[in-house]
Amino acid sequence: MDILVVQSVEADPVGILGRYLQVKGANLHTWLIAKQLTPPQGTYHGLIVLGGPMNACDDDNFPHLAQVVSLIQQFHWEGKPILGICLGAQLIARAFGSRVYQNEVPELGFTSLFPVETPGSATEAWLRDYPPGLPMMQWHFDTFDLPAGAQRLLTNDLCRNQAFRIGSNVYGLQFHPEVTPEIVMNWMAFKTDWIEANYPHLFEQLREQLVRHWGNSAQFTEKLADAWYDQVVASARTVSLHP
């Protein structure tokens, strides 16, 4: 199966999520915005939209964002699975008409997530046996309103919309399941004066959190990759049976 990966910045690649998908049999085709004005041509069975430091509505400074919104709408119209991570989740929200705005409190580092107990969440293979309070990596200042008809799947007190599903095959995740320790530590290059003033010990905190939490995070990511790729395969088979 061929997957289109939208990578807005070099510092946020598909990481361990991509490795797990490739083990399952995925062929990943990355649109790295810094090197290509348009996505690589091809027929794709699924779409992954990764994170980035920009605001999801800042088309003036980042023209590719409007292109990504159109891609999301196109893949949804074609019934193909979509997975958005951080900025990617915010762009999905924008593509479905929701507002993206600054969160009251930034989330930087590993924070605990909790499943939203609904009948629908119980059907998600990647949420079965999800340990309540599992810490996952965060690096975001913005959040979004849940799109109409979307189902919230994960939440916490700092940012209510941590994971959601639209229909049966569009997923947005505010957190970062794709990270490796190397990726996280590289993000320290994005420190701002505000982060220096408000999170003066962030570097040390992240190193400690990675030791404690990254192993469990990676196990969750493997489960997520397996479930999402199964959806991609199932979707492709359905399309081939009903062209």
pLDDT tens-digit series, residues 60-78: 999 999 999 999 999 999 9
What does the pLDDT read at residue 193? 80
DSSP letter for each residue of 157-197: SS-S-SEEEETTTEEEESS-TT--HHHHHHGGGG--HHHHH
Chain segment 28-43, per-residue pLDDT in tens: 999 999 899 899 999 9
Pick the range with the lowest mean pLDDT from 67-76, 77-86, 119-128, 148-157: 119-128
Q: Would you give the distance in Å from CA 214 to the centre of its chain?
A: 17
pTM as predicted: 0.95
The answer to whether the beta carbons of residues 125 and 227 sit under 8 Å apart is yes
- C-alpha distances (whole Å) from 48 to each of 124, 158, 202 are 18, 25, 28
CA neighbours closer than 13 Å in the CB half-sphere of residue 8: 26
CATH superfamily of 2-241: Class I glutamine amidotransferase (GATase) domain (3.40.50.880)
What are the extents of the domains in the chain? 2-241
pLDDT of residue 13: 97
